[in-house]
Amino acid sequence: MNKDLCNQCGACCQNIRLDLENRILYWDGKKTLDDEFLSMLYPINAVDGIYACKFLKNNLCTNLNKPEVCCMYPSSPFAELPDSCDYRGEIFILNENIKHRIRKLKEEVIHYSAIISTISDKREQNQLNKIISAHKKIIDKYKDYGSENW
Ligand code: SF4
Ligand code: SF4
């Protein structure tokens, strides 16, 4: 990830979406919300789960000990990026690459599932079944991001 693209618009620290009940931070993909991160935030729209960070001053971070998740942001192809963020292009490409890979795996699952019934050799059948279940495991890994519809 190219780390020089930040234009310091500050939008990512003003619009942080949380699921407090399940302690999920959606800001940089789905991450578990920890107490350190939670303690920095105040509600903007608590009903919709939107928070902002108290350390943001004049669009700049004033937290000298900012959490690792801040130092890494955006690190996930599923990061929720504001319109003003200059990482949008890069994250879009990473996101599309993953979707492309998942679509290829799905095609292979369909292909192997179709030919498996035409094979009489049990060993070959087992091998194909193993490939199918390995592919499905990878597809499932992205279920939370909607992989079943890609
Ligand atoms: S600590 Fe700094 S980088 Fe992290 S959310 Fe707050 S203002 Fe943003
Ligand atoms: S939204 Fe993007 S460009 Fe703006 S401060 Fe955050 S990382 Fe930087």
| pLDDT 10s digits, 4-39 | 899 999 999 999 999 999 999 999 999 999 999 999
Ligand 1 pocket (Cβ < 6 Å) reads 13, 40, 53, 55-56, 61, 63, 66, 70
In the numeric block, which tokens belong to residue 71?
């130092």
- Binding site membership of 87 for ligand 2 (Cβ less than 6 Å): yes
- β-pair type (24-25, 56-57): unpaired
CA of 25 to the centre of ligand 1 (A): 13
Amino acid occupying residue 95: N
- Using CA atoms, how far apart are residues 67 and 69, in angstroms rounded to an integer? 5
CA of 53 to the centre of ligand 1 (A): 6
Terminal C-alpha separation, the chain? 24
pTM for the whole structure: 0.86
- What ligand 2 atom has the least distance to the C-alpha of 87? 2
CA of 7 to the centre of ligand 1 (A): 15
- Using CA atoms, how far apart are residues 115 and 119, in angstroms rounded to an integer? 7
User: CA 91 from chain center: how many Å?
Assistant: 10
SS3 1: coil
What whole-number percentage of the chain has pLDDT above 70?
A: 99
Place of tokens 């030919």: 115
The average pLDDT across 94-100 equals 97
Q: Could you give the count of Cα atoms lying within 13 Å of 34 in the half-sphere of its Cβ?
A: 6
